[in-house]
């Protein structure tokens, strides 16, 4: 976290108390996509705050023992990654909206103002609450009309990892980015909830935004072209920076329309909680990939004891890509020799790609239209990272200071610990002559007789 970001966090915290006597707390707006430092509670019961990846925690005010928040549903502009701004809908200037952090047993009052062009509601996913506070438009309450403010009030009855989102014109409003994280911290020490040094959270979301445009298409069901964490795509997702030996918790919720197997390199973790609450210790098992289904939340924990830069990503390889055409013909293994010169007579800029795979795309940085992202991107100390979408890095460092979330830069690997090129002689395997690979690429035309 640089100083500027830190101070913007401090300003956020201060701007609520200023209007403490108003009937309704002034909404706090944030527009930077940077990860805000943890919001240390200065009122209410103490707790160890979370860090929202490329996001922030909503400041509150205490009013006669009640924790009051003000969410404003409104159109926002969100930078998906440098070079691409999207016109989304969200809360308080951002998509996702700010994280709400409370303590088990807190009475919470949330003012929700609707500045969207259509009605909305908020559903508090996973909470125990009175039926009339559940936020299902038409079923448990009338929708919040445009321009109106509704009040939700309930006690945060159990600790855990939750989220919020509209239950009104859901398909459109979630496809447009309306969602936020909710964390209820335990009120006392409990064996069900470990004390950790780093506690991160983010939501899985996805968008279909045609290259050159800015507004998501809500009618796309599965073929979204932007797979994002907190409405950010690699290389726009911040790294998770921790100190070696830290107990780390990562909380993830899925509001896309498909599952995401989230995979961590270099460490095993255990799933310590779901949106149903903490998992009893006897029911936890080690994993390195946990599948998060649609509408689910997972809370994973591990000791970050291996120094390095460790990939953290969705294991669906199409979800670690930025916009790509799914209808382009497959060129792998197709022999283009002689064809390129002929095509270049007609199309001088024609480039041959894809014949040997697509790794060239990571290096080449072809010109792309404004308002989209390269399919694979990111520069590492050893070359192009060739990723996009749901990908970032867990950075474990011996000298990362407690409470310091700043990016320590690339990991310096100790000499002699990196994969290296073998320069000695190669032992050739004995292969049957009939299946020996040939250098020439064979083109088989449909319907043509191969002749053997």
Interacting residues with Cu ion (CB under 5 A)? 260, 314, 316, 319
Nearer to Cu ion by C-beta: 265 or 316? 316
Q: State the virtual CA torsion across 27, 28, 33, 34 in degrees, nearest 10.
A: -160
Element (H, E) at 174: helix 170-175
Nearer to Cu ion by C-beta: 129 or 292? 292
Nearer to Cu ion by C-beta: 127 or 290? 290
Nearer to Cu ion by C-beta: 129 or 375? 375
Nearer to Cu ion by C-beta: 114 or 205? 205
29 C-beta neighbours (distance < 10 Å), count: 15
Nearest Cα to 390, choosing from 191, 256, 247? 256
Q: Tokens 């500045």, residue?
A: 115
Give the nearest distance from C-beta 314 to Cu ion in angstroms. 3
- Which two structure tokens, joined as six digits, stand for 82? 């440098």
Strands 286-287 and 247-254: unpaired
Q: Tokens 């970032």, residue?
A: 392
Give the nearest distance from C-beta 243 to Cu ion in angstroms. 29
Give the nearest distance from C-beta 262 to Cu ion in angstroms. 8
Give the nearest distance from C-beta 259 to Cu ion in angstroms. 7
Nearer to Cu ion by C-beta: 127 or 254? 254
The b/e string for 207-217 (b: 16+ C-beta within 10 A; e otherwise) is bbbeeeebebe
Nearer to Cu ion by C-beta: 76 or 314? 314
Give the nearest distance from C-beta 381 to Cu ion in angstroms. 26
Using DSSP's 3-state secondary structure scheme, residue 434 falls into helix
Give the nearest distance from C-beta 358 to Cu ion in angstroms. 19
- Would you say how long the chain is, in residues? 452
What pairs with residue 21 in β-bridges? none
Element (H, E) at 229: strand 226-229
Rounded to the nearest angstrom, the gap between the alpha carbon of residue 202 and the centroid of all alpha carbons in its chain is 5
**CA gap 263, 269 in Å, rounded:** 10
Nearer to Cu ion by C-beta: 143 or 205? 205
Contact yes or no for 207/86 (Cβ under 8 A): yes
Give the nearest distance from C-beta 229 to Cu ion in angstroms. 10
Give the nearest distance from C-beta 165 to Cu ion in angstroms. 19
Nearer to Cu ion by C-beta: 114 or 393? 393
Give the nearest distance from C-beta 374 to Cu ion in angstroms. 19
- Which two structure tokens, joined as six digits, stand for 176? 């447009």
Contact yes or no for 321/362 (Cβ under 8 A): no
Contact yes or no for 220/176 (Cβ under 8 A): no
The terminus-to-terminus CA distance of the chain in angstroms comes to 66
């Amino acid at each position: 976290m640089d100083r500027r970001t830190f101070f913007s966090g401090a300003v956020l915290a201060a701007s609520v108390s200023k209007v403490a006597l108003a009937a309704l707390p002034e909404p706090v707006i944030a527009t930077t996509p940077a990860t805000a430092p943890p919001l240390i509670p200065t009122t209410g019961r103490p707790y160890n705050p979370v860090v929202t990846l490329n996001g922030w925690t909503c400041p509150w005010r205490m009013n006669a023992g009640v924790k009051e928040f003000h969410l404003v549903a409104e159109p926002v502009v969100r930078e998906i990654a440098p070079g691409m701004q999207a016109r989304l809908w969200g809360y308080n200037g951002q998509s996702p909206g700010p994280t709400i952090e409370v303590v088990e047993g807190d009475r919470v009052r949330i003012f929700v103002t609707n500045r969207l062009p259509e009605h909305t509601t908020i559903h508090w996913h996973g909470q125990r609450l009175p039926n009339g506070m559940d936020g299902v438009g038409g079923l448990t309450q009338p929708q919040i009309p445009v321009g109106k403010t509704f009040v939700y009030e309930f006690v945060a009855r159990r600790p855990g990892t939750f989220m919020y989102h509209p239950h009104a014109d859901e398909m459109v409003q979630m496809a447009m980015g309306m969602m936020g994280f909710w964390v209820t911290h335990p009120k006392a020490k409990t064996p069900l909830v470990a004390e950790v040094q780093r506690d991160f959270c983010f939501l899985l979301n996805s968008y279909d935004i045609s290259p050159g445009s800015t507004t998501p298409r809500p009618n796309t069901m599965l073929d979204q072209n932007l797979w994002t964490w907190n409405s950010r795509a690699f290389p726009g997702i911040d790294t998770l920076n921790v100190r070696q030996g830290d107990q780390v918790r990562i909380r993830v919720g899925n509001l896309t329309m498909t599952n995401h197997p989230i995979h961590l390199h270099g460490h095993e973790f255990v799933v310590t909680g779901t949106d149903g609450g903490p998992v009893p210790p006897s029911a936890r098992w080690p994993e390195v990939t946990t599948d998060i289904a649609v509408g689910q939340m997972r809370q994973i924990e591990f000791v970050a004891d291996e120094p390095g830069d460790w990939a953290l990503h969705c294991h669906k390889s199409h979800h670690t890509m930025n916009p790509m055409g799914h209808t382009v013909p497959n060129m792998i293994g197709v022999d283009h020799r002689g064809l390129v010169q002929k095509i270049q007579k007609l199309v001088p800029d024609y480039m041959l790609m894809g014949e040997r795979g697509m790794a060239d795309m990571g290096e080449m940085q072809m010109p792309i239209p404004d308002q989209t992202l390269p399919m694979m991107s990111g520069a590492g100390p050893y070359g192009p990272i060739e990723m996009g979408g749901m990908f970032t890095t867990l950075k474990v460092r011996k000298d990362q200071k407690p409470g310091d979330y700043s990016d320590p830069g690339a990991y310096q690997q100790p000499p002699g610990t990196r994969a290296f090129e073998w320069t000695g002689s190669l032992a050739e395997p004995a292969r049957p002559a009939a299946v020996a690979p040939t250098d020439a690429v064979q083109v088989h035309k449909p319907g043509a007789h191969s002749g053997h």
